[in-house]
Amino acid sequence: MLNIPKLKNTQSNNFFLMAGPCAIEGEEIALRIVEKIVKITDKLSIPYIFKGSYKKANRSRIDSFTGIGDEKALKILEKIGREFDIPTVTDIHESIEAEMAAAYVDILQIPAFLCRQTDLLVAAAKTGKVVNVKKGQFLSAASMKFAVDKVIESGNNNVILTDRGNTFGYQDLIVDFRGIPEMRSFNVPVVMDCTHSLQQPNQISGVTGGKPALIETIAKAAIAVGADGLFIETHPDPKNAKSDGANMLHLDLLEDLLVKLVRVREAII
């Protein structure tokens, strides 16, 4: 089901992993993160895709960090893909960004809030890159069939769907694990975003909260119900990360978590 250039360890029966920092904060820290994750995933034979947003467009406050500069961040993503020979993924927010970002990365990600934006989906599809569409917090799993159709009918069969929880009241999210098998029925790989699904949005401070202690719970359940991949944002110092630190996994905890998840995967296949 996966047709992603440079994706390694696909002969294993493991889930694949999209992981990295929320945003590209600089070259040194991005390389530090990817180097450690590559060592872990190679050891565990987990197909790995580096994730990093070159720009953060959806911010609660006007003074929130949005990026280090589009071209600078995209060139870091390009360097990571080249030097580690792994695929990379980044978000796009407007149709005009699709072609630009596609020149640097292997996968274009459609943010959850934008998953119904037809022009954006079509623009991403027409680049020929793999398109990862995040399910809107406000949508059912069944409704994501229309997002898949938009990409495929635009001439691109390489689609991934990522669940990131459902809005529950104003300041919380919940995960309906029935959605994973439902979205897999569309014959596309389905990923569970184990970090954003634990966000606590709309805080009075204007800074999104989170429950990172439950990342392991969400990840285990997702693998148990058949998720093809996991999405995990990770950072060596989440408290001082420039974006989404409240729900990220500390980088030092990633290996132990992945070891447990490989065991869960082995138990169900």
CATH of the domain at 142: 3.20.20.70
d(CA 76, CA 109): 17
**Distance set, CA 59 to CA 186, 201, 204 (Å):** 31, 11, 14
What is the band of 245 on the pLDDT scale with cuts at 50, 70, 90?
confident
Please tell me the predicted confidence (pLDDT) of residue 25: 95
Q: Determine, yes or no, domain membership for 8.
A: no
Q: Determine, yes or no, domain membership for 111.
A: yes
Query: Is the pLDDT confidence value at 233 over 80?
Result: yes
Mean pLDDT over 254-267 rounds to: 97
Please tell me the predicted confidence (pLDDT) of residue 202: 61
Q: Determine, yes or no, domain membership for 11.
A: no
Q: Determine, yes or no, domain membership for 141.
A: yes
Count, residues in the chain: 269
Higher pLDDT, 150 or 241: 150
Query: Is the pLDDT confidence value at 204 over 60?
Result: no
Please tell me the predicted confidence (pLDDT) of residue 165: 95
Q: Determine, yes or no, domain membership for 1.
A: no
Please tell me the predicted confidence (pLDDT) of residue 57: 78
Please tell me the predicted confidence (pLDDT) of residue 200: 75
Q: Determine, yes or no, domain membership for 5.
A: no
β-strand partners of 162: 134, 191
Q: Which long-range contacts (CB under 8 A, 24 or more apart) does 200-208 make?
A: 200/171, 200/172, 200/173, 200/246, 201/60, 201/170, 201/171, 201/173, 202/60, 202/170, 202/171, 203/60, 203/171, 206/60, 206/61, 206/64, 207/60, 207/61, 207/64, 207/246, 208/60, 208/244, 208/246, 208/247
Q: Residue 256: CB partners within 8 Å, gap ≥ 6?
A: none
Please tell me the predicted confidence (pLDDT) of residue 269: 84
Q: Is 167 left (phi over 0), alpha (psi -120 to 50) or beta?
A: beta
Average pLDDT, the chain: 93
Mean pLDDT over 182-186 rounds to: 98
Total of domains in the chain: 1
Q: Determine, yes or no, domain membership for 38.
A: yes
Q: Determine, yes or no, domain membership for 53.
A: yes
Structure tokens at 148: 């898949």
What is the band of 61 on the pLDDT scale with cuts at 50, 70, 90?
low
Please tell me the predicted confidence (pLDDT) of residue 59: 60
Please tell me the predicted confidence (pLDDT) of residue 243: 80
Residues 136-183: pLDDT tens digits?
999 999 999 999 999 999 999 999 999 999 999 888 899 999 999 999
Please tell me the predicted confidence (pLDDT) of residue 1: 58
What is the band of 211 on the pLDDT scale with cuts at 50, 70, 90?
confident
User: Model-level pTM?
Assistant: 0.94
Residues 77-130: pLDDT tens digits?
999 999 999 999 999 999 999 999 999 999 999 999 999 999 999 999 999 999
Residues 9-49: pLDDT tens digits?
999 999 999 999 999 999 999 999 999 999 999 999 999 99
d(CA 197, CA 231): 10
What is the band of 134 on the pLDDT scale with cuts at 50, 70, 90?
very high
Structural domain boundaries, residue 149: 16-268
Q: Residue 212: CB partners within 8 Å, gap ≥ 6?
A: 195, 198, 238, 246, 247, 248, 249, 250
Structure tokens at 127: 């680049």
What is the band of 242 on the pLDDT scale with cuts at 50, 70, 90?
confident
Q: Residue 63: CB partners within 8 Å, gap ≥ 6?
A: none
